[in-house]
Amino acid sequence: LGGPGTTVEIDEAKFGKRKCNRGRVIKGQWVFGCFERGTKKCFFQPVENRTAATLMAVIRDRILPGTTIISDCWRGYEPLLTDRDYQYLRVNHSVNFVDPQS
Which amino acid, residue 97?
F
Task: Work out the burial of residue 55: count CB atoms within 10 Å of its CB; fewer than 13 is exposed, 13-18 middle, 19 or more buried.
Answer: buried
By C-alpha distance, which of 82, 33, 88, 91 is closest to 62?
A: 33
Run of H or E including 59: helix 52-62
- Specify the pTM: 0.81
Run of H or E including 54: helix 52-62
Task: Work out the burial of residue 2: count CB atoms within 10 Å of its CB; fewer than 13 is exposed, 13-18 middle, 19 or more buried.
Answer: buried
Question: Which pLDDT score is estimated for 95?
Answer: 65
Phi then psi dihedrals of residue 80, to 5 deg: -65, -25
Question: Which pLDDT score is estimated for 25?
Answer: 63
Domains defined for the chain, CATH in brackets: 7-91 (3.30.420.10)
Question: Which pLDDT score is estimated for 17?
Answer: 75
Question: Which pLDDT score is estimated for 86?
Answer: 94
Average pLDDT for runs of 10 along the chain of length 102: 95 83 76 95 95 95 96 90 92 64 60
Question: Which pLDDT score is estimated for 87?
Answer: 94
Question: Which pLDDT score is estimated for 101?
Answer: 63
Question: Which pLDDT score is estimated for 44?
Answer: 97
